[in-house]
Structure 1
Amino acid sequence: MKTFPFIYNGPREFIQSLQPKEWADFFLGELNPRFSVTAIKAKVVSVIDETSDAKTLVLKPNWLWKGFQSGQHVPVTVEIGGRRVTRFFSLSSHPKDKYLHITVKRQKGGLVSNFLNQNIKTGDLLELGEASGEFVLTKDVPNELLFLAGGSGITPIHSILKELQAIKYSGKAKLLYFVRSYDDIILKSSLESIAKDANWLTIHYIFSEIPKEGFSSGFLSKEILDQHVSNLKTSSVYVCGPSPMQTKALSLLEGLPVKSELFLLPGQNQTNVKKEGTVDVFLTLSHKTIQVKGERSILEELEEQGIYPQSGCRMGICHTCVCKKQTGEVTDLSNGEKSQLGEENIQICVSRAESNLELEL
């Protein structure tokens, strides 16, 4: 049972309790858990099994939801083990669909992806942020489009294909979808429904682990592109998938107009190193000093010691984890560059400690 928030642990909490929006949220939540004046809350209308390790969550957001563009992603916040955790997921639905869809594939070591797949059921509530991202169609849609998807990277591309269907696209589009096996094709029925309805779309499934007669096998390569794409030099390309696939795609497509959306698991975007000893990290707002090895991201090493700063994408995109570094040197793991020793804002999810640090945390 909920109680009125009259008892607090300190003056800050008491002052916060006097804020009109906080009181409004409390009373609205008593009427309907989805009601809020401060947070985008979405009710899970249904859960659709896509594959053995991927599900689509069908969501009904409250009135604070401002909409999205096909190809964008949204922050999803859940409470796990008593702490709020945020991750970003692409929307797989079309902006004009009745409900929002996010399609989530379980990832090894993926705290939120596993939680959503294992625990979320119809009637549950999720907290969303505003949609964002530049992985969207240009204002003037090119006449020739090539989509390269790997695994769960199909989700924003699926939304874009639905947008092309909605605007009655008159050009030509081709999708090369790289997955482990036929049973791992995510959103298969919807993809084939779009292709059946649209004479502008051709889909090729390419299996990396379990071959299937009549389909290509292997990973993204020049040979695969030559086999399936005759108009590569005149195509605008959209790429979404694991880091190795994206790296290969960008090298093969150098000189072509390419948009990419990179989905990484924690640690995939980082070059781990082995170091001797530790460095001190002084958290100025918490008034505590901890020792880290400086072998992985600051965020990971803080979490390893039970300290959980705000974070979101964990790949340097969303800027949720930005904090002020007052002194010390870090390496930016997204590009390998070392910082200056003085004051600057850093993203702790893609920063590795190189010396003693003072962080505004």
Structure 2
Amino acid sequence: MKTFPFIYNEPKQFLSSLQGKQWADFLLGEINPRFSVTTIKAKVVAVREETADAKTIVLKPNWLWKGFRSGQHVPVTVEIAGRRVTRFYSLSSRPNDKHLSITVKRQKGGLVSNFINTNIKKGDVLELGEATGEFVLPKTLPSKFLFLAGGSGITPIHSILKQLEANQFKGKATLLYFVRSFEDIILHSSLEEIAKSTGWLEIKYIFSDVPKEGYDSGFLTKEILQKYAEDLKSYSVYVCGPAPMQTKALSLLEGNEIKSELFLLPGQTSLKVKKTGTVDVFLSLSHKTIQVKGERSLLEELEDQGIYPQSGCRMGICHTCVCKKAVGSVTDLSNGEVSELGEENIQICVSRAESNLELEL
């Protein structure tokens, strides 16, 4: 049986106690876990298995949800072992759908992706933030699209394709989807339905690990692009996938109008470097000095020591983890650039220590 804390008998005192938004949220949460005056909460209305390690979570948000544009991502907060953890996931549904959806692929070492795939079920309530991101369609649509997706990078592209379908797009679109194997194709049936119902979408699956007869294999190359997209410069290009794929695409498509979304997986925040010993990191707001190996992102190495700075996407997109570096040098893991020694703002989720540092944390 649920109980409520003591409430004053005097009406004025009672009304005064209701003025705090946290108290109002508590009362509303006792009535319905999705009710809130401050927080976007969404009830899980369905969970669909896409592959052996990817699920689509269908959500019904409360009245605070302001909507989204196809291609955007949303912060999702869950509680794991008593700690609130936030990650960003691309929305895989389209804005006018009855419910919104995120599609989450289990990642090796991914705290939240593994938790969602293992534990989230129908009836659960997740906390969301506002949708953000510029990986969206322009107001005036081009006549030709080229979509390059790698792994779970298909999720925002799927949302964009659904929106184009709803808009009754009359041009041409080619999707090159690079994935490990046929069994790893995420949102497979939905992609095929879009292609079948529209007539303007051509899909080519390219398998990197397990070849399949009748399909291309390998990674993104100039030859693959020329094979399926003649006159490349006539296409508006959208790229979403891991850093190596994005880097390759940008080099091959120089001169094209390109929108890109970078996915840094947990294993990709580590680089193979030859280092010995540790570096000192002074946290000026905490008045604490710690030692890190400088082998992975600063965010990961701080978390290893029980320090949990505010973070979100963990892939250099949302800028939630930005902090001031007063002294020292870091490598930007998204592009390999080494910073100057002076003061600047850095994203600790994609920054690796190269020297002793002072951070405003």
TM-score by structure 2 length? 0.90
Task: Give the superposition deviation at 1:296.
Answer: 2.5
Q: Deviations over 1:81-129 (max 9, x none)?
A: 2211111111000000000110111111111111110110001111111
Taking the aligned partners of 1:23 and 1:5, their CA distance within structure 2 comes to 10
- The residue number in structure 1 matching 2:303 is 303
Extract unaligned runs of 5+ from structure 2. Answer: 7-16
> 2:324 aligns to what?
324
Matches within 5 A, 1:6-17: none
Partner of 1:13: none
Q: Cα RMSD over matched residues? A: 2.1
2:286 maps to 286
Matched residue of 1:268: which SS? Answer: helix
Question: Identity, % of aligned pairs?
Answer: 77
Query: Offset at 1:183?
Result: 1.6
Query: Equivalent residue of 1:147, what SS?
Result: strand
Give the letter for the 1:218 counterpart.
Answer: G
CA contact (8 A) 2:44 2:126 kept: yes
Alpha carbons of structure 1 residues 350 and 208: separation in structure 2 relative to 1, 3 Å: closer
CA distance in 2, matches of 1:169, 1:290: 55
Q: Tell me, what secondary structure is at the counterpart of 2:174?
A: strand
Instruction: Tell me how far apart the structure 1 counterparts of residues 245 and 2 of structure 2 sit (CA, whole Å).
Output: 48
Q: Quick one: which amino acid aligns to residue 183 of structure 2?
A: D
Map of 1:72 onto structure 2: 72
CA distance in 2, matches of 1:157, 1:359: 36
Which secondary structure does the structure 1 equivalent of 2:24 belong to?
Answer: helix
175-184 or 92-101, larger mean C-alpha shift: 175-184
Q: Could you give the per-residue CA deviations for residues 331-355 of structure 1, whole angstroms, max 9, x where no partner exists?
A: 433342323434x433221223344
Q: Residue 53 of structure 2 contacts residue 105 of structure 2 at CA under 8 Å; is this kept in 1?
A: yes
Tell me by how many angstroms 1:225 deviates.
1.8
1:193 aligns with 2:193: yes
Call closer, same or farther: CA 1:291–1:29 in 2, change over 3 Å.
same
Q: Give the structure 2 partner of residue 241 of structure 1.
A: 241
CA distance in 2, matches of 1:319, 1:81: 25
Moved more, 287-296 or 137-146: 287-296
Q: Secondary structure at the match of 2:268?
A: coil
Shift of 1:270: 5.2
Tell me if the contact between 1:148 and 1:240 (Cα under 8 Å) persists in the aligned partners.
yes
Q: Which amino acid in the other structure matches residue 278 of structure 1?
A: T
Q: Distance in 2 between matches of 1:248 and 1:327?
A: 33
In the alignment, what sits opposite 1:12? Answer: none
Which residue is equivalent to 1:20?
20
Distance 1:38 1:212, change over 3 A: same
Distance change in 2, residues 1:43/1:290 (3 Å): same
Which residue is equivalent to 2:126? 126
User: Is the contact made by 1:89 and 1:102 (CA closer than 8 Å) also made in structure 2?
Assistant: yes
* More displaced stretch, 267-276 vs 134-143: 267-276
Alignment of 1:139-178 (within 5 A): 139-178=139-178
Counterpart contact for 1:331–1:339, Cα < 8 Å: no
How many residues are matched?
350
CA distance in 2, matches of 1:338, 1:215: 42
Between 24-33 and 320-329, report the one with greater CA deviation.
320-329
1:40 aligns with 2:8: no
Q: Does the CA contact (< 8 Å) of 2:108 and 2:266 recur in 1? A: no
Segments of 5+ residues of structure 1 without an aligned counterpart are: 7-16
Q: 1:341 to 1:272 in 2, by over 3 A?
A: farther
How do 1:50-129 and structure 2 match up within 5 A?
A: 50-129=50-129
Shift of 1:3: 6.8
Hey, what does 2:14 align to over in structure 1? none
Residue in structure 2 matched with residue 339 of structure 1 by the alignment: 340
| 1:360 CA drift (Å) | 2.8
Structure 1 residues 251-260 or 225-234, which shifts more?
225-234
Q: Distance in 2 between matches of 1:4 and 1:309?
A: 33
Residue 352 in structure 1 maps to residue 352 in structure 2? yes
Residue 137 of structure 1: SS of its match in structure 2? Answer: coil
Using the TM superposition, give the Cα deviation of residue 232 of structure 1 relative to its aligned residue in structure 2, in angstroms.
2.0
AA of the residue aligned to 1:76: V
TM-score between both structures, scaled by the size of structure 1 = 0.90
On the 8 A contact 2:44/2:60 being kept in 1, the answer is yes
Give CA deviations for 1:304-350 in whole Å, capped at 9, x if unaligned: 111111111112221111223344443433342323434x4332212
Residues 339, 199 of structure 1: CA spacing in aligned structure 2 closer, same or farther, 3 A cutoff?
same
Mapped to 2, the partners of 1:58 and 1:238 lie a distance apart of 25
Residue number in structure 2 paired with 1:138: 138
Q: Partner of 2:10 in structure 1?
A: none
Q: In the aligned structure 1, how far is the partner of 2:33 from the partner of 2:126?
A: 10
Distance 2:182 2:5 in 1: 52
Letter of the 2:258 partner, please give it: V
Aligned to 1:49: 49
Q: What residue identity is the alignment partner of 2:31?
A: L
Deviations 1:238-259 (A, max 9, x none): 1111222222211211111111
